[in-house]
Amino acid sequence: MKRALIVGYVWPEPNSSAAGARIVQLIQALHAGDFVVDFACAAALSEHQIDLSSLNVPAHSIALNCSSFEEFVRALAPDVVIFDRFVTEEQFGWRVASACPAALRVLDTEDLHSLRAAREQLLKQALASDKQAGPVLAESAELFCQMRRSEMILREVASILRCDMTLMISPVEIALLQDYFQVPQALLYLLPFMVNPGESERHTFIERRHFVTIGNFRHNPNWDAVLWLKQSIWPELRRQVPEAELHIYGAYPPKKATQLHNPAERFYIKGWADDAQVVIGAARVLLAPLRFGAGIKGKLLDAMRCATPNIATPIASEGMGGEGPWPGAIATDAESFAREAARLYLEADHWRHAADACLPLLRENFDAQRLGPAWVHRLHGLLDDLDAHRQKNFLGAMFQFHAARSTEFMSRWIEVKSRLQGDS
């Protein structure tokens, strides 16, 4: 059996974020492909992290800027090392390359961070002149110009080039990297969220009540979406559907969020949800008013699994469509968002048509039984021909050489400094 090591940015919290659920999906796909999987992380433990032992995955606490990681990974001798986000690859990638040069290095982007940051900056610019600004609708050329103004894209693309495979969650982001940043197609692999889209019992239109939205409050796009709901969308939607409530769920709500809780306005900050699909499945409509962001959205995937129609912005729905109809509606401003949400909430036939569109879309784009084995097959193919694959990636070898030198010297300097401070 082959061994895979996942180096996490944080300990996975599948009930808190889509990123946490993504890690569990990768583990399950690797196990199904006869990989032994270990997980290592330098972050502090968290109250909502999953018990990895329940997944038959050993958990290892590791240290930043410490050669002990090299000793650990050399002893473990993984065939594949997966870095959870580019900042993790920056910290540990050169150590893996040094200690285990034959290990296949895989970057899981989760989403393209530099794209999310560029859209956030564009939204801030729009809000400076229009307090009611809607979602960022910039085309690829404008996004490229904005992304080039930040060093983040330089770091992110360099990390992609240093790795043997980069997992991309959205086809839109693959196109952006290939068309504007000249990233070779051979380094990018499309692997969206993976679910088992079997038929499941679902609540009927008449059994469901209220609107719901969900998202980790530590993720800036989710917090901005709550503000847009509060300021622009919910007042109009409440006027059209006065009997309905808006239930807002998400891990780690800050005080500024809980202060928005207002029963008089039927605006409820619910906070942590033990099971996202339970609360989404009981709601009649899910709202996803994201004005900026990247990747694909776990909240929409959960809604589809529950056959809960949704209203989304183009940002929220990006990369998730298929050949069939969208299971709800896509809106580009607060007025149309509220109007479409009200229609979906009030019209039973319209609601059922949207609910029926969920399962076909899941099967088309997110079927774990198809996606997982195909990815593992690609891993084995690269492992069998890794030298030839790396020979074609000259830029990657160059970035690996120079980045390893600079990162290594900085990291070793920090390690020595910390040791000297500890001795004093």
Cβ-based neighbour number of residue 356 at 10 Å:
14
Task: Determine the pLDDT at residue 144.
Answer: 97
CB 304 within 8 Å of CB 327? yes
Task: Determine the Cα–Cα distance for residues 417 and 408; give it in Å rounded to an integer.
Answer: 14
Share above pLDDT 90 across residues of the chain, in percent, rounded to a whole number: 85
Same domain? For 76 and 178 the reply is: yes
Among the residues of 149-187, which ranges form H helices?
151-162, 171-181
pLDDT at 414: 62
Whether 382 is covered by a domain: the verdict is yes
Q: Are residues 334 and 395 in the same domain?
A: no
Asked if 165 and 234 sit in the same domain, the reply is no
423 pLDDT above the threshold of 90: no
> Count of domains in the chain?
2
Range of the domain at 151: 2-194+369-423
201 three-state secondary structure: coil
Quick one: 374 and 358 in the same domain? no
- Residue 395: pLDDT band by 50, 70, 90 thresholds? confident
Number of alpha helices (DSSP H) and beta strands (DSSP E) in the chain? 19, 13
CA atoms within 13 A on the CB side of 271: 9
Neighbours of 154 (CB within 10 A): 13
Same domain, 153 and 293: no
pLDDT tens-digit map of 67-95: 899 999 999 999 999 999 999 999 999 99
Task: Answer yes or no: do 238 and 164 share one domain.
Answer: no
pLDDT of residue 198: 77
Average pLDDT over residues 349-367: 96
Q: Which stretches does DSSP call E strand in 9-162? A: 35-41, 59-61, 80-84, 104-108
Q: Are residues 22 and 163 in the same domain?
A: yes
Reported as a single tens digit per residue, the pLDDT across 179-225 is 999 999 999 999 999 999 876 678 999 999 999 999 999 999 999 99
Residue 424 has pLDDT above 60, yes or no: no
CB 290 within 8 A of CB 119: no
Residue 397: pLDDT band with limits 50, 70, 90:
confident
360-374 pLDDT, tens digit each = 999 999 999 999 999
250 shares its domain with 297: yes
What are the pLDDT digits (tens) for 42-68?
Answer: 999 988 899 999 999 999 999 998 889
